[in-house]
Amino acid sequence: MDSHTGNETMIVQRIANGTVIDHIPSGKALAVLKLLGDPHIKGFRVALVMNVSSKKMGKKDIVKVEGVELSDEQVQRLALVAPQATLNFVRSYQVVAKRNVSPPSVVVGLLKCVNPTCITGKQREPVYSTFLLSSQAPLTYVCRYCGRELGEYEISSQVQ
Amino acid sequence: MAHGAEESGWKNRDVIDILGFTKNELLDLFEETDKFVEQGSDFGEPLRHKIVATAFFEPSTRTRLSFSSAALRLGAKVIDLSAEVSSLMKGESFADTIRMLEAYSDLIVVRHPSEGAALFASEISSKPVVNGGDGSQHHPTQAMLDLYTVNKLKGGVDGLTYALVGDIKYARTATSFLYALTKFNPRRVYAVCPEALRPRAEVLKRLEGLGLRVELGLELEDIIGELDVVYATRIQKERFPDQSEYEKVKGSYRLARTVMEKAKRECIILHPLPRVEELPYELDSTPHAAYFKQAAWGVPLRMALLKLILGG
């Protein structure tokens, strides 16, 4: 993959099999990496490219992971950190499929309401936090139970 | 029903927030309420085989007693969960308590300090749940009563100028009243309050999305002459995370007689009660005082609501 950084070209080795996560908002690559788990433990190879030029986004980050395909839950989390991200699935050095992520309209049990008196924060109550998508840009969710909003920063810090 | 709402839409319905109701449904509720107001007594016990449970996890006088009175006047039985002496003291969860009440009654009226508690209860219970107040969020039956009072005394809700005065941040009655106004077409709506007690950002955003603009930053004296309805609220001491913040604002926005003297004679004062310092006794004898009528109509309004949900 060639990634353009101003007038220079950065060469990043291609992967044989795995996933390229493109169109990550600039500065969020490390957050995306955290969603995948610790590469030291899981043993997969990773390439991070940050702050490269993008026609669509101005600046963007890219994460390439060898030998890893994201689970549905990871894709859902990814959509909350990088709502415009594109997934490129690579087999034998070829992109065999592409998928755009999009923030789910409802997120159950993944985010925590920041309102200390919301019913979803009560200990010992069998209630799952439920957030409804309120805005895609900026990414905003609203607690179904108390109406409190979660903004991009809170969402991003919670899903990592 | 006269305003086009379907009666079947009320049957076994949960009442969680005022936004869940249409204008026509509210007008139909008011019409049913009028019948009870005019009837006065001997209502024929249409709910004599029903049991209404009241479960108040926060103190209440008017809401709990008016629901009890409404149920009893319609011939229903009332069972009351007293949080202080129940299994809650032994650590029973809210969810388990609701399951028990679901088995023991036909309708549950619940009040809880946590926002979303009534919605959660409605997800657990197959029997209808009526929200008697959840934290600082919703108090739908109070909003119905407030609108009913305006409708009755002013001949309609549309085209009037409203000012909510006092605590618009933590008072669920104020928030619910603002949400209720989105169903109608008020001329202007003011929130007169210290900066610390302005409506919460998410509430303002939601109101804006529903087409209701709330004007902030004005003093009551500046607008009193144009008001048709003053909605006064108690500063909600119990909901301040920091009591020193309460001390800073307590006693502010008292409805002084000298200010009310500048109001139109037909301007009415509503207050969900109880009052503390914000509503002086000297206003009780003025033509503006509508809050005791408002409180009294809480019974026929809740009779109408119970009959629509449980009757038929």
pLDDT in tens, B109-140: 999 999 999 999 999 999 999 999 999 999 99
Residues B233 and B106 in one domain: no
Residues B118 and B189 in one domain: no
Residues B134 and B170 in one domain: no
Residues B156 and B93 in one domain: no
Q: Where are the domains of chain A?
A: 2-100, 106-159
* CATH code of the domain containing B120: 3.40.50.1370
Amino acid A43: pLDDT: 77
Number of domains in chain B: 2
Residues B200-215 as b or e (16 or more Cβ within 10 Å = b): bebbbbbbeeeebebe
Task: Using CB atoms, pick whichever of B117, B136, B206 lies closest to residue A119.
Answer: B117
Residues B154 and B291 in one domain: yes
CATH class of the domain at A2-100? alpha beta
Residues B265 and B159 in one domain: yes
Residue closest to A66 by CA, chosen among A90, A87, A84: A90
Task: Using CB atoms, pick whichever of A118, A144, A149 lies closest to residue B114.
Answer: A118
Residues B159 and B281 in one domain: yes
Range of the domain at B68: 7-138+297-310
Residues B176 and B52 in one domain: no
- Mean pLDDT for B201-206 is 93
- Mean pLDDT for A65-88 is 90
Q: Which of B111, B127, B172, B288 is catalytic?
A: B111
pLDDT tens sequence across B270-298 = 999 989 888 999 999 999 999 999 999 99
Q: Is B87 on the interface with A (CB under 8 A)?
A: no
Q: Provide the mean pLDDT of chain A.
A: 88
In a domain, B2, yes or no: no
In a domain, B35, yes or no: yes
- Mean pLDDT for B179-197 is 95
Residues B78 and B23 in one domain: yes
**Is B111 known to be catalytic?**
yes
Amino acid B83: pLDDT: 65
CATH code of the region A106-159: 2.30.30.20
Residues B158 and B125 in one domain: no
Amino acid B85: pLDDT: 61
Residue B87 — pLDDT band, cuts 50, 70, 90?
low
In a domain, B1, yes or no: no
Residues B11 and B95 in one domain: yes
Residues B46 and B174 in one domain: no
Q: Provide the mean pLDDT of chain B.
A: 92
Q: Which helix (H) or strand (E) holds A35?
A: helix A29-36
Residue closest to B184 by CA, chosen among B28, B24, B297: B24
Residue A67 — pLDDT band, cuts 50, 70, 90?
confident
Amino acid B81: pLDDT: 92
Amino acid B92: pLDDT: 87
Strands (E), chain B: 51-56, 77-82, 107-112, 129-134, 161-165, 188-192, 214-216, 229-232, 268-270
